Structure 1
Amino acid sequence: MIVAAQQTRTCPGVRPAAKPPAVVPRIQPLSPRLAAALSYGFALLLGAGLALALFPAEMLVPRAGGAFAPQGDAAQHAIAQRYFLADDWRWPLLTAANLRPPEGVNIAFVDGIPLLALLLKAAFPLLPEGFHGIGLWYAIAWTLQPVAAVWALRGAGETRLLPAIGVALAASAMPSFVNRYGHAALTGHFCLLLALGAYARLVRGGGVAGWAGAAGLAVGTLLVHPYLAAMALALLAAVPTTLLLRGDRRWIGAAGGLVATVAAVFGTMAMLGYLGATGDGGYGDFALNLLSPVWPYRSLVLGWLVEREVDATGHGGWEGYNWLGLGLLAGLVLLVAAAPRAVGSALRRHAGLALALAGLTLLALSFRVGAGGAVLVDLGDPPGFLEQFRASGRFFWPVGLALLVGAAALLARLPRFGPVAVLALGLLQFADAAPNRAALAAWAGQRQPWTVEATPLRALLAEARSVAIFPTWPCVPKPDTLGDHGRQLQVLNLAAERGVTANTMYVARWRGERPRCDDAAAIAAPLAPGELRIVLPGARDQALASMPGAAALCAPLGEVLACRLGR
């Protein structure tokens, strides 16, 4: 032992040999394919899980004979799809001729989501009786929202897993997206994320194939909702503008691709009967408030500061609601503080997109610019074509989504903690949106009773060839103190379960002049064989006074009169 110990001593002036460094195992980055699969897989599971958690089964797969009544805009959309699905194939393609004959109704004017309706019509023999796809669309939109966000982020060049998880969480919790319940078509924000992803790829060079895909995306978005199509076209228009401002000669080819895309959209509009439609107008009534992006209505953390949406126009702040969310705002603040040069460089490199987003913001603000409860600027009457965009506040949606994708892409590049910062952004955004999700779930789960006698009306409609409801939609006075608009939609929903031809329908847009009230002659006409005439309280006195044989042919059914021959 002594010898051994002596052998371990070192000679004076001689350093002992250095120990070999410890081997620290390195974490290998995921392969590109595995990172992509995990990113999209997480986003898909997140979206599908949220859809199943928020929307009850009877909403996703509706059937005839439901015990509860559809409400508000959702009732209108369900009627349109049910009538369209029950009708024969016609030209123009989107016409439901069994609704308000002889001209019928273009379901695009009643927000019937033509893209989904056309697919369901092809499968109509396989669908349950009385099925419509409005509830199904909510599930589709919620499932695709985080998936499209990952696609947009990867288009921006960020392909790692943690940032993908963060952006998927944040996109599913964007307040302007979550808060769109009640209007199914307008939940299609995933179309805008797809357009952002298309922009990012096309500025790198997409060629003919890339622009063909962009044209298909734009046309598909049109068939979801025209507002979304206008936003998507604005994002795609940023491609040649960005390239031009970079001095990149590829802007000429991109401009050609954009022209072809716009032509495809307007060609589709002409072919399917969109062109020439007008609405009630009111551009500026439902605008973006300057404070809306930072107004924390329904924020889990800051919601106690405000009671409702911010509004300066007196029309409520629902359409202009654009709270960005606490996670996104925190991410933007961190980004500006930690990497201001990167932000400036990105804005210069994507100047065309920045200009498009600035233009959309101005369009959203409208000619009446409000801040808080006050109108700061009133530029008077807008040009007539802007009246098509009554709910102008919606045009800020792509701005918020672009801020999200851009912030995630830039934050992820910060050294050491970038990917974790994006994940934290997503987690904070998702948690902060809890009150909005709760409000959506409460709306989806409500069980509103029928205000008309549903069971006996269904029995009468089963024997009817047609139903005539009075007053018709143009004749319901505003404000509707008798509730006839709601009753009318409920009777139409019952009739739509079987596609019984109906004489009236509430539409958001129409051709030519606004439909006029001309009920007098129709009410005074004798009942036709197979006709079921439903008289709502607002037309009761007129019907009893002018309809032949009303006293003998009509019977009270709750608050309405049901009239038919041989009752």
Structure 2
Amino acid sequence: MACIWVSGGVMLWPGQVNWLAHSDLAQSYLGWAFYRHAPWTWPLGANPAYGAGLHSSIYYSDSIPLLAMLFKPLSAWLPEPFQYFGLWVLACFVLQAVFAWRLLGLAQARPLDKLLGTVFFVLAPPMLNRLGGHMALVGHWMILAALWLCLRPSRRRQSTWWAVLVATAMVVHAYLFAMVVAIWLADVVQRQRNMQQAEPLRPGGVLRRWLPEWVLVVSTTCAVAWLAGFFMVSGHGMQANGFGYYKMNLLAPFNGDGWSWFGLRFAEAPGEYEGFNYLGLGGMALVAMTLLTLAWRREPRRQRLIPTPLWIVAVLLAVLAVTCNVGFGSLQWHMPLPRRWWEKLSHLSLQSTGRMFWVTYYLILLAALLVLLQRWRGPVRTVLLLALVALQLMDLHAGLSSLRTTLLARARSTPVSLNGPFWNAAGERYRTLRQLPLALMSPGWETLAFYAQEHRMRTDAVQLARIDWPRFLSLYNHGKAALLGDRLDASTLYLLDDREVAVARLAVPASAAALFRLDGHNVLAPGWSSALPARATDLRLPSSAKSPFQLPFHDDLAAGGPGRLLLGEGWNSTNAGAVSSRGDTASVFVPVDGASGQQVRVELDLRSDGSHKSQARQLDVWIDGRQAGSCMLTSAMCRTLSLEVPLTRPGPHLRELVLRPARSGVRLHVELVGIRVAPAG
């Protein structure tokens, strides 16, 4: 009932995908849509068509790998389109209620009282807030299931159930996995304490007692993680950032931020939306009443239902959620940390730490309800719970109505698509759709990815939760070098940004590829010999705009300058900093024109401070497989390098200069400072 009330029921229909056409939701759906038609490989979660060349997997598109791998064998019998995210949401609501009911049963309350208490969990704002963008993260029931395993009276098959839950969380979402693991560790500590009190064990006995469970949980989790493609992105290459930005404000439990009908709202820093953990006015009243009950209705000491290790874990996760950048409303204070600590924290895979408060959130609600159910009796308890639930529903009405309106509007919207004679013909002819330069989450990527999926094309126009940065940079440089060197793949359709159009005019002859603008996209179609589409604008026609590569050419390679468009393989040039080499060789393309060769001046500077033991001392420049010049690298700057560049064809075009160390076995640690090209003589 709650699921249909909140969502309007539209997301439950497997064939309804319109509501999944935006940003993070599109990422999750498209990851599955590409995966269902991908060939079976090892690992099973590999998704080569979505993020072509990026070593992507179903895990890093946040497509709930557990369900994706379950439904993929049935893909031939499933309708097109098909989505399981609505069914997942329904299951999350049901399981949230099931485990909340079981947890509240620890107080041995009447069914009506447990039902009223369950409302606080089923309509928890932090869970409902994820319906707008992160389907996998709606699975808060896993946190409740972990709490139930930690608190349940029976410990039968505890190790097996923990292995199942931890492994399941791993193939749903990494953040849920981390929280479930934290609760499991608390349970291990508490069970060890109980055993020590009953019968002290020797150190060797402790190891023998817990080693089988650790082996079972870790091995099961690693196995399913590998199957889902988790290890296809290495921890070293994973580009995660946002620690201390995507955090929780200390006022988050009281900050309605648009959810409160009573207008509870506090200022917060930009990234603190990830730490949305509103208790609701009813939840706050529940906690306040619990504190008053503990102070005024003193009773004989009871057995503690929530063990100390679990509270310690909850406190530690709350501290992690806040981070060292402490926010109290609009006030922000940075807690100084040693540089070494900060560097390690800033590279954690789990950067949106504001989510880590969810364990604390549910533990606070659970503890408050258990105290209320234990200390109050009969009709008075039921009336109190009714009043608290009514206050909660009244306060959350604004947020629930807004969420329902948003979800219904998305379901009624029509996604922007690429249709027409050219796009249909290109979908049949080309097998891959690429952007140049490669860019993740570029504006309008959803339209391109939906088009590629419809025509069963591979594409790098995607959004991913994590990427392998070295692989991304290699693919970025390879695409640029293919354009600069006129080495385009005949089976690939390229979409260029506005700056790369000037490069395509100069580097790719008209006989090799059509270059035009259609439906807001700059299209480079290799081997396209048919007439241009009726609505297309020919980008090879003379333009009033001056070419950025006319001679004499000079550029200092500042970010946004034309010089960076001429960098081929072997550079790290995607940021605003210095252009530095990242391999054994690097290539630069220079514009040439006229009947004679051109004088080229390439300025080089050392990238390192001499700490690289295998650093090159002499640099050679090669053209067409022949050495054309060299210079000695010093601790300051390479001498200005001048060399003649022979022509290969008349008219303006580009020539490739390959830079490499004179001695093999060393790396090219240099920075490219500037490029100058002038007519010979």
TM over 0.5: yes
Partner of residue 174 from structure 1, selected from 124, 134, 142: 124
Whether 1:325 aligns to 2:246 is no
Partner of residue 430 from structure 1, selected from 377, 393, 401: 393
Whether 1:141 aligns to 2:92 is yes
Equivalent position of 2:15 in the other structure? 61
Name the aligned partner's letter for residue 177 of structure 1: M
When normalised by structure 2's length, the TM-score is 0.67
Partner of residue 421 from structure 1, selected from 381, 384, 387: 384
Equivalent position of 1:96 in the other structure? 47
Q: 1:48-197, aligned counterparts within 5 Å?
A: 48-50=3-5, 53=8, 55-56=10-11, 60-62=14-16, 70-102=21-53, 104-154=55-105, 156-158=106-108, 160-180=110-130, 181-197=132-148
Name the aligned partner's letter for residue 255 of structure 2: W
Q: How far 1:449 sits from its partner (Å)?
A: 5.4
Segment drifting more, 369-378 vs 254-263: 254-263
Q: How far 1:437 sits from its partner (Å)?
A: 1.8
Report the secondary structure of 1:430's partner residue: helix
Q: 1:411-560, aligned counterparts within 5 Å?
A: 411-413=372-374, 414-416=376-378, 417-447=380-410, 450=415, 453-454=418-419, 459-460=424-425, 462-474=427-439, 485-511=442-468, 513=470, 515-516=472-473, 517-518=476-477, 519-524=479-484, 525=486, 528-537=489-498, 539-549=500-510, 553-560=514-521
2: distance between equivalents of 1:539 and 1:438? Answer: 45
Equivalent position of 2:364 in the other structure? 403
Equivalent position of 1:311 in the other structure? 268
Report the secondary structure of 1:334's partner residue: helix
Partner of residue 179 from structure 2, selected from 209, 223, 231: 231
2: distance between equivalents of 1:95 and 1:430? Answer: 43
Whether 1:365 aligns to 2:327 is no
Q: How far 1:359 sits from its partner (Å)?
A: 1.1
Report the secondary structure of 1:532's partner residue: strand
When normalised by structure 1's length, the TM-score is 0.79
2: distance between equivalents of 1:298 and 1:271? Answer: 40
Q: 1:261-272, aligned counterparts within 5 Å?
A: 261-270=217-226, 272=228
Equivalent position of 1:219 in the other structure? 167
Deviations 1:198-251 (CA, angstroms, capped at 9, x unpaired): 1112xx3423x2321221111111111011000011112221323445554489
| Aligned partners of 1:47 and 1:143 also within 8 Å | no
Name the aligned partner's letter for residue 95 of structure 2: L
Segment drifting more, 119-128 vs 96-105: 96-105
| Aligned partners of 1:47 and 1:145 also within 8 Å | no
Report the secondary structure of 2:444's partner residue: helix
Segment drifting more, 282-291 vs 96-105: 96-105
| Aligned partners of 2:320 and 2:353 also within 8 Å | yes
Name the aligned partner's letter for residue 161 of structure 1: P
Report the secondary structure of 2:443's partner residue: helix
Aligned CA distance change for structure 1 residues 423 and 383 (closer, same or farther; 3 Å): farther
Segment drifting more, 499-508 vs 179-188: 499-508
Report the secondary structure of 1:61's partner residue: coil
Name the aligned partner's letter for residue 210 of structure 1: Q
Q: How far 1:435 sits from its partner (Å)?
A: 2.0
Equivalent position of 1:206 in the other structure? 155
Q: How far 1:462 sits from its partner (Å)?
A: 4.1
2: distance between equivalents of 1:271 and 1:141? Answer: 23
Equivalent position of 2:547 in the other structure? none
Deviations 1:226-279 (CA, angstroms, capped at 9, x unpaired): 110000111122213234455544895578535632443244335544243323
Equivalent position of 1:300 in the other structure? 260
Report the secondary structure of 2:273's partner residue: coil
| Aligned partners of 2:428 and 2:455 also within 8 Å | no
Greater fraction helix: 1
| Aligned partners of 1:367 and 1:378 also within 8 Å | yes
Q: Which runs of 5+ in 2 are unaligned?
A: 531-681
Report the secondary structure of 1:264's partner residue: helix
Name the aligned partner's letter for residue 402 of structure 2: A
Whether 1:286 aligns to 2:236 is no
Equivalent position of 1:240 in the other structure? 188
| Aligned partners of 1:97 and 1:104 also within 8 Å | yes
Partner of residue 213 from structure 2, selected from 247, 254, 257: 257
Aligned CA distance change for structure 1 residues 418 and 243 (closer, same or farther; 3 Å): farther
1: distance between equivalents of 2:334 and 2:293? Answer: 35
Name the aligned partner's letter for residue 177 of structure 2: A
1: distance between equivalents of 2:350 and 2:135? Answer: 18
Q: How far 1:514 sits from its partner (Å)?
A: 6.8
Deviations 1:526-564 (CA, angstroms, capped at 9, x unpaired): 554543333344543333433343896234321113443
Aligned CA distance change for structure 1 residues 490 and 456 (closer, same or farther; 3 Å): farther
| Aligned partners of 1:241 and 1:352 also within 8 Å | yes
| Aligned partners of 1:471 and 1:538 also within 8 Å | no
Segment drifting more, 416-425 vs 251-260: 251-260
Name the aligned partner's letter for residue 547 of structure 1: V
Q: Which runs of 5+ in 1 are unaligned?
A: 1-45, 477-483
Deviations 1:162-206 (CA, angstroms, capped at 9, x unpaired): 1321133211221111112211111111111111111112xx342
Aligned CA distance change for structure 1 residues 365 and 540 (closer, same or farther; 3 Å): same
| Aligned partners of 2:6 and 2:403 also within 8 Å | no
Q: How far 1:392 sits from its partner (Å)?
A: 0.4
Aligned CA distance change for structure 1 residues 221 and 50 (closer, same or farther; 3 Å): farther
Aligned CA distance change for structure 1 residues 541 and 495 (closer, same or farther; 3 Å): same
| Aligned partners of 2:322 and 2:353 also within 8 Å | yes
Equivalent position of 2:293 in the other structure? 338
Name the aligned partner's letter for residue 186 of structure 1: L
User: What is the number of equivalent residue pairs in this alignment?
Assistant: 501
Name the aligned partner's letter for residue 110 of structure 2: R
2: distance between equivalents of 1:334 and 1:392? Answer: 29
Q: How far 1:391 sits from its partner (Å)?
A: 0.5
Equivalent position of 2:671 in the other structure? none
Name the aligned partner's letter for residue 34 of structure 2: Y
Partner of residue 352 from structure 1, selected from 286, 301, 309: 309
Greater fraction strand: 2
2: distance between equivalents of 1:136 and 1:543? Answer: 47
Equivalent position of 1:35 in the other structure? none
Name the aligned partner's letter for residue 424 of structure 2: A
Q: How far 1:78 sits from its partner (Å)?
A: 1.7
